[in-house]
């Protein structure tokens, strides 16, 4: 007998998605807006959180998992499950950046093992649609402000290495191109 009311585990389980890495050209594309919130999008959001927590990271843009859409997931809470503060932003836009700057060492899941000191505004007001389709606006500060700016950069085809001098950026890109070809990095 078939139980039609029981959902199969593989249908409801979240998945860790592969994260694309430099030099994948998709990372340089501008992401398209999200047009509707549906079950498929909800599944992508859940899978992105699972991927981000597994990596581990504090933010992930949909383009980093091969989906060039304006969606980011973030969590700057603690590492333990009861400390988590997951945040979903669909079509996020920065409304205002604060005048004070903050220096922070940033890493990127799409550029593994590279960390760069980057100066960004320490606060940002961000307007977005949440996973339920409601328009929200938040005032982010500190790590959340940095993470939001970093992930929105991804949606616009920008990477942290763009903050480096041309020489240093070219060195990083060359190393990742060699790794992509299976050659040993310098």
Backbone φ and ψ for 102, nearest 5 degrees, come out as: -135, 130
Q: Is residue 137 annotated as part of the catalytic site, yes or no?
A: no
Spell out where 13-86 has E strands: 59-61, 71-74
2 three-class SS: coil
Spell out where the chain has E strands: 59-61, 71-74, 87-97, 101-108, 111-121, 123-129, 135-141
Backbone φ and ψ for 60, nearest 5 degrees, come out as: -155, 130
- Residue 82's contacts (CB-CB under 8 Å, 6 or more residues apart) are none
Q: What is the DSSP secondary structure assignment for residue 80, as one 8-state letter?
A: S
- Give the Cα separation of 61 and 66 in Å (integer): 9
The residue from 100, 105, 106, 151 that is catalytic is 151
Annotated catalytic sites, by residue? 151
């Amino acid at each position: 007998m078939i139980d039609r009311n029981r959902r199969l585990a593989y249908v409801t389980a979240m998945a860790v998605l592969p994260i694309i890495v430099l030099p994948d050209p998709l990372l340089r594309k501008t992401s398209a807006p999200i047009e509707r919130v549906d079950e498929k999008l909800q599944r992508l959001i859940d899978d992105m959180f699972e991927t981000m927590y597994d990596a581990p990271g504090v933010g992930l843009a949909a383009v980093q998992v091969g989906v060039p859409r304006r969606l980011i997931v973030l969590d700057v809470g603690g590492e333990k499950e009861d400390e988590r503060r997951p945040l979903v932003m669909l079509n996020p836009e920065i409304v205002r950046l604060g005048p004070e700057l903050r220096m922070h060492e940033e890493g990127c899941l799409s550029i593994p093992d590279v960390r760069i000191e980057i100066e960004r505004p320490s606060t940002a007001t961000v307007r977005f649609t949440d996973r339920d389709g409601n328009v929200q606006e938040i005032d982010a500060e500190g790590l959340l402000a940095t993470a939001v700016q970093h992930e929105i950069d991804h949606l616009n085809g920008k990477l942290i290495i763009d903050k480096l001098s041309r020489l240093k950026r070219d060195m990083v890109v060359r190393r990742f191109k060699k790794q992509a070809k299976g050659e040993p990095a310098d």
